[in-house]
């Protein structure tokens, strides 16, 4: 198998440094820097024969992420992703991308939205395995009682992202 070159960019944000990998203009991995090592390993396994290349600018995804963190909360809407999940995960992740900035949804309502009302735990599992957080906005999913729960980057970052988007009180 010929090598896949992934370009890696690190961006400082008010919520902490993020790192993302892209192939062309498709983001295939994104995490806060303190969670990057695990996602990097998962991404390497997914592509099997990977070469990593540093990329300070990050191309179109880097520009969109910078605009997002400067306050344009819809800047990520048109970004292309390469998530390579199972059909169920892809269905969940596509539904996540339809949640507009400034809104939240419960895990239960997300399960209903994809036509699998009894699959709340599976939806939560797919949410947890999202390889492109922020762009696929898993932070917009909250518990049925309205509490913040279940974010790989930590609840404080989830809260920051939701406040930034106007979906949570400051």
Active site residues: 138
In 3D space, the residue among 133, 132, 150 whose CA is nearest the CA of residue 141 turns out to be 150
The residue assigned the tokens 């939806």 is 123
- Cα(81)–Cα(87) distance, integer angstroms: 15
Phi, psi of 136 (to 5 degrees): -95, 100
- Cα torsion angle, 49, 89, 80, 11, sign: negative
- Cα(135)–Cα(14) distance, integer angstroms: 16
In 3D space, the residue among 30, 11, 8, 16 whose CA is nearest the CA of residue 164 turns out to be 16
Phi, psi of 87 (to 5 degrees): -55, -40
């Amino acid at each position: 198998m010929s090598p896949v070159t992934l370009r890696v960019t690190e961006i400082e944000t008010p919520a902490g440094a993020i790192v993302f990998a892209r192939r062309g203009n498709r983001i295939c991995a994104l995490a806060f820097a303190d969670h990057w090592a695990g996602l990097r390993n998962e991404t390497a396994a997914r592509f099997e024969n990977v070469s990593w290349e540093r990329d300070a600018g990050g191309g179109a995804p880097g520009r969109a992420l910078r605009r997002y963190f400067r306050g344009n909360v819809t800047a990520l809407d048109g970004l292309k992703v390469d998530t390579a999940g199972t059909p169920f995960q892809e269905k969940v992740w596509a539904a996540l991308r339809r949640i507009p900035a400034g809104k939240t949804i419960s895990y239960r309502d997300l399960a209903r939205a994809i036509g699998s009302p009894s699959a709340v735990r599976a939806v939560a599992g797919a949410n947890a395995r999202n390889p492109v957080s922020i762009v696929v906005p898993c932070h917009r999913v909250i518990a049925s009682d309205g509490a913040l729960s279940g974010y790989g980057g930590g609840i404080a970052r989830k809260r920051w992202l939701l406040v930034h988007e106007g979906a949570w009180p400051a």
